[in-house]
Structures are given as structure tokens and as C-alpha cells.
């Protein structure tokens, strides 16, 4: 599948290049253009970063939940509940057996007397145990996320295909319980931060254009690999697949340079297998908004002659090789082939404090 994809990409690029070569003006006048540049020009490169809100959530349906002053444990309801509770802690990232706990109220008869009994801090160490199905208990929180994405894409008519990767840093917050918040403490993940590495293939469709803005619906499909904080050996096989749906809003500053804003929604989850063969699914879908730039490498270089002040794309005789070559008169981020008055630089007299001065010089 991957080979076919690469083959199709190469074929399409070769087709484009050969089509470009066939444009008779270049052949007719023997104007040189670097084949590498012509090919590379077909690939759009995007780099972006921004902010995401990842909603870590898990439902404890099918589990008993236990809490005391020190620990929180879960145990699958496949197990029989006895006077001693032996459950698992840190079921979000690295499930390990917790210490066995006596389920009795240790401040009831005939347990020992307590000195200074009123408002004694030890009393707050009381146990809470419940059937999460009956309680309807789940935990969730929003983790701030900083994504950095690099992708490459190829546009074919209004369609887009591409590949890329994204690094995400997740800043964890305690997961709040959905019920009995006055009794059940938030679940504290045993890591403050983690990261995700995502590799994806991408498909898109340009569904709207407005002046120099382009709107592209993009779908990313790929693998999301969590950081070492989440014990990957406890995660079920094939559980790191993810989907992202977003809209690329691109402002085309030039034919080679775009500013991109990309709101998107990330759908992903993973399953943690507990040592007793039970499992629990954690969803960590995210809303993200990313800002970045997207470029296409220009198919022709800037004019090599410092004295060449031509503003448009034009043909020169290359002083080095003596052959005709097409060159640009603008940097890649500025509009190529500007009309009169476009791309004028802003004069110093109109910048900063000079705006207020009658005579800035």
C-alpha cells in the first residue's frame, strides 16, 4: 500500500514535470529551469504549532472503585468482593497491584479508641468503596497540549494528499470524578507531562476559495505513539490508531507562501490491560488550533544579478553558464508579478513613532 502510494506520487510529479516541460515556450526559446526545482515545487511543506485541549477521560463501568486517604484502586467486577480489597492503582498509565486493604470502617466497633476524636485528621482517611456502574463513575480532565506539526502535501486539482508527523506535549491535570465530588478525590496521574508522536497520512479537499483565502478540509489517519510515561506494554495491541479532522484556512500571500490556521479535532483512545486480564479504555480526544506557514519551493531562483531590479518573473542570460534562464524578481513570500503599486516597501517615515512625526528625517 505504501509502495503504491509512493509510486502514485512519483508518477503524478513526473507527469506534472513532463507537462511543464512540454509547455512550448521553454522549449521554443530553450529557457532553462532546474528539473529538481520544478519537481520540488509541486510539494507543499507546512510547519505549524498552537494550542490543544486534550480531554483525558475514562469510564469505570465494570469496576469496583476504592478510595482511602492515601490511595485509589479499581478492581474488575469479574472478581468477587471480599473483606480484603486487592485492586490496581495507576490504571491510566502503568497499572500495578495496590496494597491489600481491609474494607472495614476502622473507627467502628470493635476497632480501637481514637484520642482527640473530634475533627481528628485520621478520620478523613475513611474508606470509600462503590460499584462504578451504580455510581456512574468516570474521570475526566483537560490537559493543555502544545502540538508541533510538519507535513508535506501534493495538490492535484482540488484534492490533496500528504504525509506528516506531529509532536505533542501534554501537560496533565488531575482527572475529576463525574459524581460524588465531595467524597471522591480527583484521580492524579503519576506523571505531570507526557508527549505523543504521531505519524499520519493525509487526504484533503479544497472546498472553498475567497479572494486569497483557501479552505481545505483535511483528514489525517495514522498512529499516535504515547511517551514512556504511559506503559506501552500495558496498552492493547493496535490501540494507537487515531483520526484527525480539520479545516486548513490558508491565506495565500504569494504563490509560494501561505499562512495557515488549522482548527481540528483529534479522535484517539487507548486501552490499558490490567494484570487480572480486565481492561479499561481511555479516550484522549483533543480540540486543537494551530497556526503555521506553508511553502512551496519556487521552481525558479531569484535573479543572481544584484543590479537586476525587474519586479516580475523574467528571463535572463545566466552570467555563469551563459544560457537563458527564468528568474524571479520578488522574494518568495511576496506576490510574484506585482501590478504597479503592489509590493511597495513601507518607508521608514511610515514606521513606528515616525508615523506621528511631521518630518521624521
Partner 1 sequence: MKNFPSLVIVLLLLLLTSCKDDEVDVVAEEEARIEAHFDTLDVDVSRAESGLYAYPITQGGVPKAGFVLSISYKIWVLGADSATTSIRSLDTVVVKKNANAIYPIGIDEALSYMKEGEKWGFVLPSYLAFGNHSFPHVLIPAEATMAIEIELLEVRSETDVLDAEVKAIAAYIEDNQLRDTVNYPLNQPEMLTNGMVYKRLKAGTGATPQSGQFVSVTYEGRFLDGTVFDRAPNADVFEFYMGTGSVIPGFEIGVERIQLQEKALIIMPSYLGYRESAVVIPHNITSEVADLEIIPSYASKVPPYTPLVFEIEVIGIN
Q: Which residues bind partner 1 (CB under 8 A)?
A: 83, 105-114, 116-120, 123-124, 126
Task: Give 121 or 322: the residue with its C-beta nearer to partner 1.
Answer: 121
β-pairing, 176-177 with 138-156? antiparallel
- State how far the Cα of 272 lies from the Cα of 279, in Å rounded to an integer: 6
In the complex, what is the shortest distance from the CB of residue 137 to partner 1, in angstroms, rounded to a whole number?
A: 20
Whose Cβ is closer to partner 1: residue 118's or residue 340's?
Answer: 118
Maximum CA pair distance of the chain? Answer: 104
Give the separation between CA 105 and CA 219, rounded to whole angstroms: 54
Pairing of strands 279-296, 257-273: antiparallel
- State the minimum distance, in angstroms, from the CB of residue 354 to partner 1: 17
Q: Residue 15: which residues within 8 A CB-CB, separation 6 or more? A: none
Whole-number minimum distance, CB 353 to partner 1, in Å? 12
Compute the distance between CA of residue 89 and CA of residue 75 in angstroms, rounded to an integer. Answer: 9
Phi and psi of 182, rounded to 5°?
-80, -15
Measured from the CB atom, the residue of 71 and 317 that comes closer to partner 1 is 71
Q: How far apart are CA 256 and CA 116, in angstroms?
A: 76
Q: Nearer to partner 1 by C-beta: 105 or 190? A: 105
Distance of closest approach, residue 182 Cβ to partner 1, in angstroms:
10
Q: Give the nearer residue to partner 1 in terms of CB position, either 30 or 112.
A: 112
CB of 175 to partner 1, least distance (A): 23
Amino acid at each position: 500500500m505504501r509502495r503504491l502510494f509512493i509510486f502514485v506520487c512519483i508518477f503524478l510529479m513526473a507527469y506534472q514535470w513532463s507537462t511543464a516541460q512540454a509547455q512550448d515556450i521553454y522549449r521554443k526559446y530553450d529557457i532553462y529551469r532546474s528539473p529538481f526545482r520544478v519537481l520540488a515545487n509541486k510539494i507543499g511543506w507546512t510547519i505549524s504549532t498552537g494550542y490543544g485541549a486534550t480531554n483525558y477521560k475514562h469510564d469505570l463501568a465494570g469496576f469496583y472503585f476504592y478510595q482511602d486517604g492515601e490511595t485509589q484502586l479499581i478492581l474488575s467486577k469479574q472478581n468477587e468482593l471480599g473483606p480484603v480489597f486487592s485492586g490496581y492503582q495507576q490504571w491510566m498509565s502503568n497499572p500495578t497491584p495496590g496494597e491489600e486493604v481491609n474494607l472495614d470502617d476502622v473507627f467502628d466497633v470493635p476497632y480501637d479508641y481514637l484520642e482527640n476524636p473530634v475533627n481528628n485528621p485520621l478520620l478523613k482517611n475513611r474508606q470509600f468503596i462503590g460499584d462504578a456502574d451504580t455510581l456512574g463513575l468516570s474521570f475526566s480532565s483537560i490537559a493543555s497540549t502544545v502540538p508541533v506539526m510538519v507535513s508535506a502535501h501534493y495538490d492535484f486539482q482540488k484534492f490533496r494528499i500528504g504525509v506528516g508527523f506531529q509532536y505533542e506535549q501534554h501537560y496533565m491535570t488531575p482527572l475529576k470524578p463525574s459524581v460524588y465530588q465531595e467524597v471522591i478525590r480527583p484521580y492524579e496521574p503519576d506523571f505531570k507531562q507526557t508527549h505523543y508522536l504521531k505519524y499520519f497520512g493525509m487526504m484533503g479537499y479544497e472546498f472553498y476559495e475567497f479572494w486569497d483565502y483557501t479552505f481545505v478540509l483535511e483528514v489525517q489517519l495514522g498512529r499516535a505513539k504515547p511517551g514512556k510515561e504511559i506503559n506501552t506494554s500495558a496498552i492493547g495491541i493496535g490501540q494507537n490508531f487515531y483520526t484527525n479532522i480539520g479545516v486548513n484556512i490558508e491565506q495565500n500571500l504569494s504563490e509560494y507562501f501561505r499562512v495557515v490556521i488549522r482548527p481540528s479535532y483529534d479522535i484517539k483512545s487507548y486501552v490499558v490491560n490490567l494484570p487480572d486480564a480486565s481492561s479499561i479504555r481511555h479516550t484522549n480526544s483533543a480540540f486543537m488550533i494551530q497556526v503555521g506557514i506553508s511553502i512551496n519551493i519556487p521552481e525558479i531562483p531569484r535573479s543572481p544579478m544584484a543590479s537586476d531590479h525587474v519586479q516580475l518573473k523574467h528571463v535572463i542570460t545566466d552570467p555563469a553558464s551563459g544560457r537563458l534562464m527564468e528568474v524571479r524578481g520578488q522574494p518568495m513570500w511576496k506576490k510574484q508579478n506585482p501590478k504597479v503599486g503592489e509590493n511597495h516597501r513601507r518607508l521608514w517615515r511610515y514606521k513606528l513613532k515616525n508615523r506621528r512625526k511631521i518630518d521624521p528625517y
